[in-house]
Structure 1
């Protein structure tokens, strides 16, 4: 069984002020036989009067609203007064512009409330969406178990989804899922692998991780991120083919090195939330010079649909929270295999283009290696793109251009020159702002 709600709150929060416990409608809406006695027994055993405890807290140095499920109260089931309390918690978060942390441990809707219980999911979703529209950051922590409506509302919809090891996570609880389904599919580890969870956190690390995330997501800034300095002292290329070879060199600095040099510390988000993770794209938020900056960085591989969707999720989140964005471009292009087509690489690129075009947060881009075609352009900020001296940006790779133009491979170096893809060419054409130096 999960840690009791108040014990968990005591572990995580320096201070905690509970919101009112008052409920609304009667707690036995459909007259379920024996339910009042079961509820009284649950209250005596757990010490709680409902399946959630809500209030204002301070985690680290950041104030927040906590919604903590008490699994010992009727399996953390969601009933009428559960919805009342969660709705009140989000109202307080909107009023005070505080982030919300949901510490979830629930088996789902309360059967003894019938459809009244199921309707609470709509209330919870409305309250969460209204807070999101007001710029309230949301973090969920998936405890054991997180199933049913708890997973399908606050669990899965939060900006950042963390999970505790070995937690059971899934829409279907253990008593109703198909007998032939492997139990491994209903774990937080599986959800991490499938891009539905950002990180699995050890219990003794949870307080520090939450503190860092709350600090990041509560830091608003209207100023754009400065472009990173170049990490290698190299001469500008003489020819287009020289530029291509420099960008493809194994000695060139990669995205992770740039991010580690740029930020004091950082936390990653991962996954497209619909089943996939692209390890060739790093996304998250980092701390630099007293403020948060979001990042979406290509790592030199062909970017897959999940990478574009994860980056789009990152950009939309940063826009809503008022946090500037840094993107690092480094890809030979979008993945073009049959699997990528089936997974919707075209719609995924379109999704990122739209996110970049509509964001209200300033975006800064640095091309750190290969800038290949639309797969690279989707990550690039209009009018705020910079070049590293050992990078190039092109309508397509010289090899692909040769194939399109039906030219032999021996002409590839010449085509590279004609594409005007060197850093200095792009500055001269007015397509990039400048070339960064070490």
Structure 2
């Protein structure tokens, strides 16, 4: 797939930006013998004068700056000319308040330009940082192959990373890996499984998926997200032990039902960008009924893994930078406490999420929809704007574990639950939550 074929795959009305300064004349910055002839031959084969084509286009109704790599031009390698064009594209994006979408297909830095090529990675990282500081989203689509510095800057450094099926993705290209390296590790599927890619998208679906992401990330809702109505029982629990039992019922509404109630459509982030994913934590952006966007981080009732906390922190930081309000749904018996969780950094991951929520400038609203076990639940709570459903509880720790800590026999767990004052009404009285949400009022005449 050429650069222009990739552009045609996602948009119809591409307008190319004027080409920025090219590479040094002759045989380039380090005098590579025959480089000028090599470059001319690459241009003749590919029809392009550099390894990127830059411009603007509309994808799914959203205008964006597009940077598309031409692998037919010296393997999509990054040289001085590449850096100049991408820098100009980012400057245009900032001047016109447009998101940046990169369609990658690159083998890395251009050998013919030596260190002058390699330092373009710093240039690209700097441009990306300035665009990030301007509050503009950056998206990447990984084509085959995406390796080397292109992956380690424009690809992995993007806010949302999509990949085409079968794409080779990795920092090490095929010619520089250890001879015994597992080739499966250098694929889009592997990068998705290990938390470095958000989705692998078939080519025929890419336009729609990319358009949805661009729309969601550029239309923030105004003000806070109100807590959803309760979808389960609304009668107050008579005791702490009853509150715990109700929150643990298998049929109790979970995060998916609440998310479906709040949003008309959603797009999800995947992974913590540190090697992990947690299927029990859902994070992403959704469209509210008024067409605006809110972000969400939702626990799904399982013990939250370190990757889940880091993914939620990633979500909160991104939403904060883009000015998008956040809704969190709390539902976990607590943070995962097995040996694997400790080795994966449970403590630092929880600390990271606490910090992201505390530092957020956008409104964060939290709703306790089930179990609220200890710090693993509190990390998603919004200081001053946390609510509870009637079939939930929040506790310093699960009653059974509290009894163990207090050196009480297991049969005293129910009594401990009563003493912990963990019912939603108790939490309101203690000042831990703002209120208990009720059921949606019945629709009036005509509504």
Distance (whole Å) between structure 1 residues aligned to residue 22 and residue 109 of structure 2: 18
Give the whole-Å Cα distance in 2 for the aligned partners of 1:25 and 1:238: 75
Task: Say whether residues 1:347 and 2:348 are aligned partners.
Answer: yes
Matches within 5 A, 1:24-423: 24-27=22-25, 28-289=28-289, 290-423=291-424
SS in structure 2 of the partner of residue 432 of structure 1: coil
Structure 1 unaligned regions, length at least 5: none
- 1:220 deviation in Å? 2.3
Corresponding residue for residue 425 of structure 2: 424
> Hey, what's the Cα distance between the residues in 1 that align with 2:8 and 2:187?
26
Aligned-partner Cα distance in 1 for 2:86–2:378:
42
Aligned length: 436
What is the deviation of 1:221?
3.2
- Asked if 1 retains the 8 angstrom alpha-carbon contact of 2:234 and 2:438, the reply is no
User: Does the aligned pair in 2 maintain the 1:285–1:292 contact within 8 Å?
Assistant: yes
| 2:23–2:79 CA contact under 8 A, matched in 1 | no
Shift of 1:222: 3.6
Measured after TM superposition, the shift of residue 24 of structure 1 is 4.7
* CA deviation profile, 1:263-306 (whole Å, cap 9, x unmatched): 10101101111111011100000101211110000011111110
For 1:125 and 1:285, locate their aligned partners in 2 and report how far apart those are by CA, in whole Å: 25
State the Cα distance separating 1:31 from its structure 2 match. Answer: 1.2
Cα distance in 2 between the residues matched to 1:222 and 1:90: 27
Q: What is the alpha-carbon distance in structure 1 between the residues aligned to residue 23 and residue 338 of structure 2?
A: 56
Contact 1:222-1:361 within 8 A present in 2 as well: no
Q: CA deviation at 1:25?
A: 4.9
| Cα distance in 2, alignment partners of residues 181 and 230 from structure 1 | 51
The equivalent position to 2:17 in structure 1, one of 8, 16, 19, is: 19
C-alpha distance in 2 between matches for 1:280 and 1:151: 28
Bigger drift between 408-417 and 145-154 goes to 408-417
- How far apart in 1 are the matches of 2:415 and 2:391? 19
Conserved in 1, the CA contact under 8 Å of 2:333 and 2:372? Answer: yes
Cα deviation 1:143-175 (Å, max 9, x = unaligned): 000000010001001110000000000000000
After superposition, the C-alpha distances for 1:102-150 in whole angstroms (9 at most, x for unaligned) are: 1000000000000010010000000000110110100000000000001
| C-alpha separation in 2, matches of 1:365 and 1:22 | 47
Shift of 1:97: 1.2
Are 1:367 and 1:391, in contact at CA under 8 Å, matched by a contact in 2? yes
- Structure 1 residue runs of 4 or more that deviate by more than 2 Å after TM superposition: none
Partners in 1 of 2:36 and 2:24 — Cα distance? 11
- Secondary structure at the aligned position of 1:364 is classed as strand
SS in 1 for 2:358: helix
Q: TM-score, normalised by structure 2?
A: 0.96
- TM-score norm. by structure 1 comes to 0.98
Q: Where does the alignment leave 5 or more consecutive residues of structure 2 unmatched?
A: 440-447
Aligned to 1:433: 434
- Please give the root-mean-square deviation of Cα atoms over the aligned residues, in Å: 0.9
**Offset of residue 366 of structure 1:** 0.5
**CA distance in structure 1 between the partners assigned to 2:409 and 2:9 by the alignment:** 67
Q: Secondary structure at the match of 2:229?
A: coil
Question: What is the deviation of 1:420?
Answer: 0.6
**Secondary structure at 2:268 match in 1:** strand
In the TM superposition, what is the alpha-carbon distance from 1:26 to its structure 2 partner?
Answer: 1.1
- The Cα offsets for residues 308-330 of structure 1, whole Å up to 9 and x where unpaired, read as 00000000000000000010000
Q: Deviations over 1:16-48 (max 9, x none)?
A: 221111315515111111111111111011110
